[in-house]
Amino acid sequence: MSTLTRPRICGARIPLAKDLMVHAYAEGRGVGGMVRGSLLCEVAEHDDDRHWGIARELAEPHGGAVWATWLDGEAPRCLTRKDCPQPGTGSAEACALFAGHPGVCSHLLDQALRADPDRVERIDAALAILATFDRYEAHTVHTAAHDAALLAWDELRARRLWVSMPDCDQAAVHRLVSRTGSVGARDPHAVAEFAREAVEVTFLWQRSDTGRLPRGESATSQLKILDSLTPEWQAVVLGNQRSPKSWSPHASTPRTPLAEALDDACRQAADGQEPPLASDSWAAPWDHKEDRVRGARVAERLTRLPYGWRVDVMRRIGSGTESLAAVSDAMMAINILRAFGLRLAWNSGQQARSLLNSG
Fill in the per-residue mask, 282 to 321: x = in contact with Zn ion (CB under 5 A), - = not in contact: ----------------------------------------
| Count of residues in contact with Zn ion, rule CB under 5 A | 9
Using the rule CB under 5 A, give the single segment among 99-107, 111-119, 187-195, 259-267 that binds Zn ion. 99-107
Q: How far is the CB of 84 from Zn ion (least distance, A)?
A: 3
- Please, which of residues 218-257 interact with Zn ion by CB under 5 A? none
- Please, which of residues 151-180 interact with Zn ion by CB under 5 A? none
Per CB under 5 A, 140 contacts Zn ion: no
- Please, which of residues 65-84 interact with Zn ion by CB under 5 A? 84
- Please, which of residues 25-64 interact with Zn ion by CB under 5 A? 41, 51
Q: How far is the CB of 107 from Zn ion (least distance, A)?
A: 8
Q: How far is the CB of 11 from Zn ion (least distance, A)?
A: 7
Per CB under 5 A, 109 contacts Zn ion: no
Alpha-carbon span 202 to 286, nearest angstrom: 38
Strands 110-113 and 8-9: what pairing? parallel
Q: What is the CA radius of gyration of the chain?
A: 23
Per CB under 5 A, 12 contacts Zn ion: yes
Per CB under 5 A, 262 contacts Zn ion: no
In the bound state with Zn ion, the residue whose beta carbon lies nearer, of 110 and 329, is 110
Answer whether 140's CB lies under 8 Å from 110's CB: no
Alpha-carbon span 240 to 244, nearest angstrom: 9
In the bound state with Zn ion, the residue whose beta carbon lies nearer, of 9 and 213, is 9
When binding is defined by CB under 5 A, the residue of 97, 126, 168, 195 that contacts Zn ion is 97
Residues lying near Zn ion in the complex (CB under 5 A): 10, 12, 41, 51, 84, 86, 95, 97, 105
